[in-house]
Amino acid sequence: MRLSFTAEHEQLRRAVRDFLAERSPAAAVRRLMDSTANRDDDVWTRLAEELGLVGLGLPERYGGSGFGEVEVGIVLEEMGRALFVAPYLSTAVLAGQTLATSEDQEAQQRWLPGIAAGSLTATLAVAGESGSWELTDPATSAEPRGGQWLVSGPKYYVLDGHSADLLLVVARAADGTGVFAVEGADPGVVRARLDSLDPTRDLASVVLREAPAVRVGAGRDATAWLGEVHDRALAALASEQIGGAARCLELAVDYAKVREQFGRPIGSFQAIKHKCAALLVEVESARSAVYHANAALAADDPEGTVAAAVASAYASRAFTLAAKECIQIHGGIGFTWEHDAHLFLRRAKSSELFFGAPRAQRERLADLVGI
């Protein structure tokens, strides 16, 4: 298992960083944040067609590039640094990996080429009202009628769920838990954008009322193969989180070098030095955990599930801590929306809770390692 990056990996990182610096600066993030759109269409098209990033982790036979978690992790780390606003995590990771893992060739042929090309956005709807991603006994149900499946019930905290063209809904069927593909524009789908803490990431509630659906996964109980999707999604989000954490550290250190108090830069005071040094340890520890998880998952290592859970726990803590400390070190500017530090804190908190509360994540990790 390789834990270091190749020259090609570094080229990918540089290309994504340069692209986002040019096409998604802070002004663009704020423009999208204040609008009802969750992407810049031109940026999304270039991301998919020119850079091939939406299909980066999808099979080549369906229009993707056939790369794995390491490469997708690099892309998401850079997106985290830039607070990139686009349905990348929902479409390329959650929905894309659900279809890619399903072993359902008909479903893959039908939807993956559109996802890879950027012409189809999609998401995965799992959580109920509690926000839990537990797959057992979902409130949403599916039943066959008249030669097709009909799905009914609510879903909450669906990433980009208000705008996705395709919803992959986890629902309870008579023969077990399944994944059901529902067209977002179907009259049986009622969607509402939720007021959320993080204005750079859209969440929605979705109510399904006998919405026509296609079952994905060739009729297999989805709890097993959705576990693989969950591991990849945890590692992907953790990659984005360490990108945000590293950016917060950079902002804090840069400010400490120039902000003066009593005629000296505040970075020369021991308290600030210790704060920055402690934060560096947190960020680098989380980075190591995330890189290991991505490498383990890419190599189909049996430790991948535990590694993804560890990465999620570390990255969640590091990002939230980095965002808070960044604001503390920027204390001289007070509370203002004009500085990105507060946007990073909101992204950090929303990411920390997206797959369930930190306590639930730690309990899952304890179960995995037999504590």
Express each pLDDT in 162-181 by its tens digit: 999 999 999 999 988 999 99
**Which pTM value belongs to this model?**
0.95
Express each pLDDT in 266-286 by its tens digit: 999 999 999 999 999 999 999
pLDDT of 3 over the 80 cut: no
Express each pLDDT in 213-243 by its tens digit: 999 997 777 888 999 999 999 999 999 999 9
Question: Mean pLDDT throughout 59-63?
Answer: 97
| d(C-alpha 307, C-alpha 302), whole Å | 9
| d(C-alpha 137, C-alpha 219), whole Å | 17
CA distances from 101 to 29, 73, 180, 203, 224 (A): 32, 18, 14, 24, 10
| d(C-alpha 248, C-alpha 161), whole Å | 28
pLDDT of 337 over the 80 cut: no
| d(C-alpha 311, C-alpha 291), whole Å | 8
pLDDT at position 331 is 85
Q: Reduce the DSSP state of residue 13 to 3 states and report it.
A: helix
Task: List the structure tokens of 138.
Answer: 């979902």
Are 70 and 295 contacting, i.e. CB atoms less than 8 angstroms apart?
A: yes
Rg (CA), the chain: 21
| d(C-alpha 141, C-alpha 39), whole Å | 31
